[in-house]
Amino acid sequence: MSHMPYVKPTIIQHINSLANKHGRGPSRHSLERIDGVSLTELLERFGSPLFVFSERRLRQRVREVRRAFDLRYPKVQFAWSYKTNYLDAICMVMHDEGAWAEVVSEVEYELALRNGVPPTQILFNGPYKPLPALKNALADGSKVHLDHYDELYAAEQIARELGRKVPVTLRLNMDTGVHPRWDRFGFNLDNGEALSAIRRLHAGGHLELEGLHCHVGTFILDPQAYGRAAARLAQLAIDVRRETGVPVRTLDLGGGFASRATLHAQYAPGTDSTPPVDDYAEAIADALLSAGFPPDELPTLLLETGRSMVDESGSLITRVVANKRLANGARSVVIDAGVNVLFTSFWYRHDVLPVVDRGGMLEDTVVYGPLCMNIDVVRPSVLLPPLEIGDALVVRPVGAYNVTQSMQFIRLRPAMIMIGRDGEVDLIRRAEELDDVKRAEHLPARFRKS
């Protein structure tokens, strides 16, 4: 008997070079543990698939991002973008690290309150703030970012009812050289709309311009786009100060820094091509510090960084449920987690790694989810070793947007755990049950079987 371990008999045709169309392969070939905790044991304990968040990684990253800005600008405040991931445990880590909350609906506003965030530390964005929510937020001193004229009128009416001047922030959009341009939100700076809105706001006499806000877009790979946006916000603030005599106290550059994920269109992996957060900080701080603010009127820099903070702290552990050859001879595997819980598969070329690498040749593989839908493709092409049914794979980074955009489409949503700083493992969301989904439904009596 041979002393070599058994590997599956495989044959792979060379097409130019093996790794050609994949860019460089993953930085490693397997991942057995996260923060020292065995992924195989986690699957045995909590079932598959399973979202795993690393508290250590998350806090490290938050501190790294904050330090990049604190080193370069004296007044910086982060606000956690709730829509990026509003699991309570994640939000609590962010708040514990000093972040305020940035919310875009009355639902998220409520979540932030429930997490103990004082209203004055909530930034309220979004194109639709229902009137009662807008009233509460303005009355309680939240930083409300007005998106359009109708909202400005509504805010004026509320201030009138409150009988006092109410501070507000204006959301602006502008050409920063980034595409797609997020010009459906806020007032346009390029065509003069922003300046007329500010004049109108002052003339109204009920609102006070506290801040200016601009969210350039998401997954922005060019730090200079932020430099341009910051320079223009600063210039506008200085112009407004000259015209009205009132200094603008906050400049909010939104979110959008790229995480170290890899977009489908990118050749090099995100770990190589994503700019370090220092580059964004440098561009923004340079623009603000050279804008010409008097030292005692330097505005506070607000940031709503989402994915860049949380993406890499999240991994999805999943099991292979089938091996399959496609009609064209291509190899595929079916896993037990699909795009209903991995929305970012549509944008990202996630790392897909076996938990245990048992050797054998790597082969170009399509990774399918378990949904009976053609769109359920987790990776259209990735080099993987031979896999058996039940083998575990890690998909990463998945910390941003997947939890909040997941849905109970065909399958229920899986359990989510957090590995604490000392390696303790906590369930932070149990696997969904059918009743969770059906509880809100009501079957008319005439359909009930007696």
Partner 1 sequence: MFDNLALSDNGFLFDTRTGSTYSLSSTGTLLLRSLIAGAAPDGLPAVLVDEFELDGRTAAQDVEQFLLRLRDLRLVASDTPPTEAV
Ligand X SMILES: Cc1ncc(COP(=O)(O)O)c(C=O)c1O
Q: Which stretches of the chain bind partner 1, using CB under 8 A?
A: 1-2, 4-14, 18, 323, 325, 329, 360-361, 386
Q: Is 84 in the site for ligand X (CB under 6 A)?
A: yes
Tokens of 386: 């031979």
Ramachandran quadrant class, 47 (left: phi over 0; alpha: psi -120 to 50; beta: rest): left
Q: Which is nearer to ligand X, 125 or 340 (CB)?
A: 125
Tokens of 423: 């390696």
Q: Which is nearer to partner 1, 5 or 245 (CB)?
A: 5
d(CA 27, CA 46): 28
Q: Is 223 in the site for ligand X (CB under 6 A)?
A: no
254 binds, among ligand X, partner 1, none (CB under 5 to 8 A by kind): ligand X
Q: Which is nearer to ligand X, 61 or 307 (CB)?
A: 307
Q: Is 282 in the site for ligand X (CB under 6 A)?
A: no
Q: Which is nearer to partner 1, 3 or 442 (CB)?
A: 3
Site string for ligand X, 228-267 (x = CB under 6 A): --------------------------xxxx----------
Q: Which is nearer to ligand X, 307 or 379 (CB)?
A: 307
Tracing tokens 């400005």 back to the chain, one arrives at 152
Site string for ligand X, 388-407 (x = CB under 6 A): ------------x-------
> Of these, 48, 142, 173, 218, which contacts ligand X (CB under 6 A)?
218
Q: Give me the least distance between CB of 78 and partner 1, in Å please.
A: 50
Q: Give me the least distance between CB of 327 and partner 1, in Å please.
A: 10
Whether 320 and 335 have beta carbons less than 8 Å apart is answered as yes
Binding residues for ligand X, total number by CB under 6 A: 16
DSSP classification of residue 251: E
**Burial class of residue 358 in the structure, from the number of CB atoms within 10 Å of its CB (0-12 exposed, 13-18 middle, 19+ buried):** middle
d(CA 335, CA 333): 6
102 binds, among partner 1, ligand X, none (CB under 5 to 8 A by kind): ligand X
Amino acid identity, residue 34? Answer: I
d(CA 420, CA 56): 7
**Burial class of residue 450 in the structure, from the number of CB atoms within 10 Å of its CB (0-12 exposed, 13-18 middle, 19+ buried):** exposed
d(CA 229, CA 75): 18
Q: Is 49 in the site for ligand X (CB under 6 A)?
A: no
> Of these, 48, 54, 81, 402, which contacts ligand X (CB under 6 A)?
81
Residues in the chain: 450
Whether 417 and 42 have beta carbons less than 8 Å apart is answered as yes
d(CA 438, CA 382): 37
Q: Is 119 in the site for ligand X (CB under 6 A)?
A: no
Q: Give me the least distance between CB of 37 and ligand X, in Å please.
A: 27
d(CA 401, CA 73): 29
Backbone angles phi, psi at 27, to 5 degrees: -70, -20
294 binds, among partner 1, ligand X, none (CB under 5 to 8 A by kind): none
CB atoms within 10 A of CB 403: 23
Residues 151-210 that bind ligand X (CB under 6 A): none
> Of these, 307, 349, 396, 413, which contacts ligand X (CB under 6 A)?
307
Tokens of 79: 């606000």
Q: Which is nearer to ligand X, 51 or 257 (CB)?
A: 257
Whether 147 and 170 have beta carbons less than 8 Å apart is answered as no
Q: Is the dihedral of CA 221, 224, 226, 229 positive or negative?
A: negative
Q: Which is nearer to partner 1, 7 or 246 (CB)?
A: 7
Q: Give me the least distance between CB of 174 and ligand X, in Å please.
A: 14
Stretch that binds ligand X, among 50-58, 65-73, 303-311, 403-411 (CB under 6 A): 303-311
1 binds, among ligand X, partner 1, none (CB under 5 to 8 A by kind): partner 1
Residue ranges in contact with ligand X by CB under 6 A: 81, 84, 102, 125, 215, 218, 254-257, 304-308, 400
